[in-house]
């Protein structure tokens, strides 16, 4: 029984390749794009079996402490076998080993959004807490396109048919200039929505994501004449296509070209041999207008889960009490609700 902390790409990738399954959010390259912390892969071994957790280590300002968090998206642990067949003893040993690692690294807590297509809860539900964060919606691309569209909201289907009659061009981005225009449109959308800083990404981030051969990603765009009116970065991994990040030109919000683009992404996924199109859920797991938009395409959903663990309750409570924090207590870690950290 041993553990190791990996930061180098080659060894990190070897563990991914030995995993029963993994997603693009688990890769070293995707973690390397993050600017909020230092990437690491904690690995616990028992003979030929292992459990690994990719995370970002963040310093807590004004202290000699750290916390651990996940990249944007759906990550969580990986293993060389399905989590529901891992023996109870190994799960307990993993827990003890992970907590020892956190203590040695002065990490007081950990947060991660889990991957709804992997089934990681059996490992983590006794380690800290695994809580439901609402529903996440997907389409089954193994059914026919006609069957898929028959499940669309009727008004939505009429709108998509009308949008396909317009003189719009749908294409894949093929220049740095297009990535730049999309970035500006995306940031403008985030500003308009008063989005959290966690949702802001710059042109360098998008460029590295699209130009890497390690991520199967595309930037799909809709044009009206020479004007870009909608776009989405889509990523294929684990037989799933995802609309990772998208944006709409403010002058075309009423036309809702994102409805056409969502339908088109399902076709792209089919052509690439994907089995599912993961649309995601609402902001913060809420059944809000974003959730309603996605639900108008499909009635298929999975539970979305979050994993939270406090390893040093005394330090965590001290940081929370350091400021009189009056926010939604579901925020985790609570002390990071204060901008100074």
Sign of CA dihedral 185, 189, 192, 196: negative
- The pLDDT-based confidence of 338 (bands split at 50, 70, 90) is low
Report the b/e string of 217-242 with b at 16+ CB within 10 A.
bbbbbbbbeeebbbbbbbbbbbebbb
- The pLDDT-based confidence of 283 (bands split at 50, 70, 90) is confident
For the chain, how many residues are written?
A: 341
Q: How far apart are CA 4 and CA 10, in angstroms?
A: 14
H-type alpha helices, 244-312: 257-271, 289-295
pLDDT of residue 106: 97
Question: Could you tell me the CA-to-CA distances from 198 to 37, 70, 153, 201 in Å, in that order?
Answer: 13, 12, 31, 8
- Go through the domains of the chain in sequence order and give each one's CATH number: 2-127+311-337 (3.40.630), 137-303 (3.40.630.30)
Asked if pLDDT for residue 340 goes beyond 50, the answer is no
Six-digit token pair at 172? 């894949």
pTM score: 0.93
Please count the CA atoms within 13 angstroms of the CA of 27 that sit on its side-chain side. Answer: 14
Q: How far apart are CA 23 and CA 238, in angstroms?
A: 6
pLDDT digits (tens, 9 = 90+) for 25-37: 999 999 999 999 9
- Kindly give the pairing relationship between strand 300-310 and strand 2-6: unpaired
Sign of CA dihedral 83, 89, 92, 98: negative
pLDDT digits (tens, 9 = 90+) for 232-274: 999 999 999 999 999 999 999 999 999 999 999 999 999 999 9
């Amino acid at each position: 029984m041993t553990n190791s902390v990996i930061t180098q790409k080659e060894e990190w990738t070897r563990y991914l390749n030995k995993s029963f399954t993994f997603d693009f959010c688990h890769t070293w390259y995707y973690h390397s794009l993050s600017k909020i912390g230092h990437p690491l892969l904690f690995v616990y071994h028992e003979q030929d079996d292992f459990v690994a957790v990719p995370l970002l280590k963040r310093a807590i300002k004004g202290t000699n402490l750290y916390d651990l968090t996940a990249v944007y998206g759906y990550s969580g642990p990986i293993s060389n076998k399905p989590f529901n067949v891992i023996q109870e003893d190994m799960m307990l040993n993993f827990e003890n080993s992970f907590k020892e690692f956190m203590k040695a690294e002065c990490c007081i807590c950990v947060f991660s959004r889990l991957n709804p297509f992997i089934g990681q809860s059996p490992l983590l539900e006794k380690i800290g807490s695994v809580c439901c964060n609402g529903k996440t919606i997907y389409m089954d691309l193994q059914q026919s396109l006609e069957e898929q569209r028959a499940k669309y909201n009727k008004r939505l289907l009429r709108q998509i048919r009308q949008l396909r009659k317009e003189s719009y061009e749908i294409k894949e981005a093929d220049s740095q200039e297009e990535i730049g225009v999309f970035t500006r449109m995306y940031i403008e959308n985030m500003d308009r929505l008063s989005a959290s800083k966690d949702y802001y990404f710059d042109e360098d981030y998008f460029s590295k994501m699209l130009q890497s051969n390690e991520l199967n990603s595309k930037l799909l765009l809709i044009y009206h004449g020479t004007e870009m009116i909608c776009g989405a970065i889509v990523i294929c991994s684990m037989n799933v296509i995802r609309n990772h990040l998208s944006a709409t030109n403010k002058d075309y919000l009423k036309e809702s070209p994102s409805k056409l683009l969502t339908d088109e992404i399902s076709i792209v996924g089919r052509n690439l041999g994907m089995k599912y199109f993961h649309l995601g859920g609402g902001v913060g797991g809420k059944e809000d207008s974003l959730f309603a938009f996605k639900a108008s395409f499909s009635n298929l959903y999975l539970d979305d889960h979050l994993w939270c663990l406090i390893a040093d309750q005394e330090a965590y409570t001290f940081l929370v009490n350091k400021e009189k924090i009056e926010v939604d207590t579901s925020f985790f870690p609570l002390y990071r609700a204060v901008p100074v950290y």
